[in-house]
Amino acid sequence: MRLNIKLATSWNDLSRKQLENISLHIHHNYLQVKDLEDGSKHLEANTKLYYRIVKELLKVNGPLKTYYAIKRIPIREYANYCKFIFNSNNRTKFIPYYIISGKRYYAPHFRLKNCTIGEFAFADSVYYQWKETNNEVLLSLLCSILYRPKSEIPTDIDVRKPFSKILAEKNADQWQKVSLKKRLAIATIFEGCRNYIVSIYPNIFPKSKSKVKTNFKPKYVPFGELISAKIEFDPSKLEKVQNLLVNEFFSIYERELIEIKKRPRK
């Protein structure tokens, strides 16, 4: 029996359901293996994760084709079929909106193009704290920062209400009602957008030149610190800078660093 199989090959090809389920599988796997010291148990847990992801990728073909396809794939090849998932998270497409208690909460644009640097810096700080603590309240706050009700006066670039820390914290309770996999999907997309931003501004976010692997994680630098450095810690400039769009802020910063590098050394 010959099977014509469709299979996503990039993060942005994943459907909403696939994204949510895969985000949940990865999260559960992380909780399962993070404290394990037994290498064989790590391998067993990861093999199960690869199987679940491959099965999720195959589901678009219908239950019968999925059944026959999964039977034909050797266990050792599971990792190859979902390699793109683990190479790098480059998901940059948001789910357009979520409905909570009958009210729509709208997403930012593709690649966070309509987010201000103030919004992005706050979201990034909350995202980092959530990754460190696995506190679901922080995950809900991240969702609340990014997804907001429709503004009474929407603009050409953003239908959401203007960013406000107070509004985000107020609406975070609403997001506690949303299933974990939906909230995890939003965090996954934010991470993908963050990865993209880091990749296109190499002077602001230089890659480590060291080829030696260590057990030490690189120090996390909050984006808020970049803002403070950019305005030379002058509070009078803070509001103006925080209202710049993400790419406006980083483009200016990147050009300045390039110009500094061009200057002759004394």
C-alpha 92/C-alpha 29 separation (Å) is 23
Strand partners, 19: none
Q: How many CB atoms lie within 10 A of CB 129?
A: 16
**Domain boundaries, given as residue ranges, for the chain:** 11-87, 108-204+219-266
- Under a CB-based contact definition with an 8 Å cutoff, are residues 65 and 58 in contact? yes
Question: Tell me, what's the pLDDT at 221?
Answer: 60
C-alpha 94/C-alpha 230 separation (Å) is 29
Q: Taking Cα atoms as reference points, which of 70, 82, 69 lies closest to residue 3?
A: 69
**148 to each of 96, 101, 137, 164, how far by Cα in Å?**
11, 14, 17, 10
Strands (E), the chain: 97-100, 103-106
C-alpha 247/C-alpha 139 separation (Å) is 24
Low-confidence ranges of the chain (pLDDT < 70): 1-2, 37-39, 208-224, 226, 228-238, 265-266
C-alpha 47/C-alpha 146 separation (Å) is 33
Instruction: Determine the Cα angle at 224 with ends 220 and 229, to 5°.
Output: 100
- Under a CB-based contact definition with an 8 Å cutoff, are residues 138 and 172 in contact? no
Condensed to tens digits (0 to 9), the pLDDT of residues 122-159 reads 999 999 999 999 999 999 999 999 999 999 999 999 99
Burial class (CB in 10 A: 0-12, 13-18, 19+), 20: buried
Question: Tell me, what's the pLDDT at 215?
Answer: 47
